[in-house]
Amino acid sequence: MVLMLNAMSAAPSGLMTIGVYIPGDDSCSKWLKENLESNPGSLLFKFYDDADEVVKDVESQQLTEGWIVPEDLDTIVDNIATKGKTKTKIEIVIRESGLTHMLGREVLASRVYPMIARQMAIYYISKNVYGDNPTEDQLNHIIETYDNYEINGNLFEMGYVDGTDNSSEDTNYLMMPLRGILALWLLLCGIAASMYYLEDEANGLFIWWKTRVFILRDLLYYLVIIFIPTIMVLVGLYWGGVFTSLGREIATIAAYDFVVIVVAIFIREIIHSIKGLGIVTPILIMASAILSPVFIDFKEGRALQRFCPTFHYLYSIHDLYYLKSLLIYGIAFLILWYIINTIKRHSK
């Protein structure tokens, strides 16, 4: 699965394919084209030499939408900066209005805005500081000062509570749910281990493996089954480009393994039938996928999310609080399992 996602993310495609026609040779036209080429983000931009070709490819569904830029983009930017409006505008060609069109419009605005903001700053300083008549040296000083302050940088920058730098820009959007998917798969392996346990118990395996410390025996049985999938999860995270650090990954996955094993044993103790586990497993995995931030995070359901071990694991990567809550979660289920098992043993 990880190799397939890697292959898909390496392909020349994105969330949207946008055709761009920029005929002008002015500074703003050159800057816009260079910006789209050097920083496409999660979009794919195709440049055209003919506006009619852009329209045809949008109509034939080869493009999600098209941007047709007028020849003199400098004049458009200058008019917006000084007058607040312009007659000539960038044309957006779409098949139908929808979410992709709204996203494309926002992306276009974000790429054009830095040029307008720069021109507005130059116009404002020229008018209010130099009486709307700056010399060439003064104008160059305004431009150099503006560019040196890097005002076009991000106003906000995402970070994590543990101080880790945000690396989301280096991670393909297809890989973002990878950790959650692998965590759900590990939970599925834990339930599968319970099915194997019940089958071995029915075949009399534990008649020859008696011990007073039955908790350690059961934990060891599950650990043997869950160990190889855990290694595969770590390798998958590394290949998928979402690996943080070796120490952090080992600590969190070890805690998650403990919780998965204890939860799987607890469910086995409650249901105690392979058929029953087969019925419960899809419900458990689907509920975990919805309550955990695998694809989307429903913050309104925090109270329910805290009952899901995958939720604690996914947040524990960058927050020590959730690593502690994950261990407390596992210990609580371990105590419940011990109480239920003790009651069953004394009732026989």
Q: What is the pLDDT of residues 181-233, one digit of tens each?
A: 999 999 999 999 999 999 988 888 766 666 667 788 889 999 999 999 999 99
Question: For 80-97, what is the mean pLDDT?
Answer: 86
pLDDT at 278: 93
Buried b (16+ CB within 10 A) or exposed e, 122-132: beebbeeeeee
Confidence of residue 10 (pLDDT cuts 50, 70, 90): low
Domain segments of the chain as ranges: 13-125, 172-347
pLDDT at 156: 55
Question: For 323-334, what is the mean pLDDT?
Answer: 93
Q: Are 179 and 262 in contact (CB under 8 A)?
A: no
Mean per-residue pLDDT over the chain, rounded: 84
Alpha helices in 129-213 (DSSP H): 136-148, 178-202
Q: What is the pLDDT of residues 231-255, one digit of tens each?
A: 999 998 888 888 888 999 999 999 9
281 residue type, one letter = T
263's tokens: 């939860």
Cα 170 to chain centroid distance, Å, stands at 11
Measure the CA–CA gap between 332 and 263, rounded to whole angstroms.
10
Q: For the chain, give me the number of helices (H) and strands (E)?
A: 13, 4
Phi–psi pair at 21, nearest 5 degrees: -120, 115
- Token pair 């084209």: residue: 33
pLDDT at 202: 87
pLDDT at 228: 95
pLDDT at 343: 86
- List the beta bridge partners of residue 165: 159
pLDDT at 130: 83
**Opening angle at CA 146, ends 145 and 149, nearest 5:** 85
Q: What is the pLDDT of residues 22-31, one digit of tens each?
A: 998 899 999 9
Question: For 255-267, what is the mean pLDDT?
Answer: 94
pLDDT at 169: 46
pLDDT at 184: 94
Q: What is the pLDDT of residues 126-163, one digit of tens each?
A: 888 888 788 888 888 887 887 777 555 555 555 665 55
CATH pick for 13-125 out of 3.40.1710, 3.40.50, 1.10.10, 2.40.40 = 3.40.1710
Confidence of residue 168 (pLDDT cuts 50, 70, 90): very low
Measure the CA–CA gap between 277 and 270, rounded to whole angstroms.
10
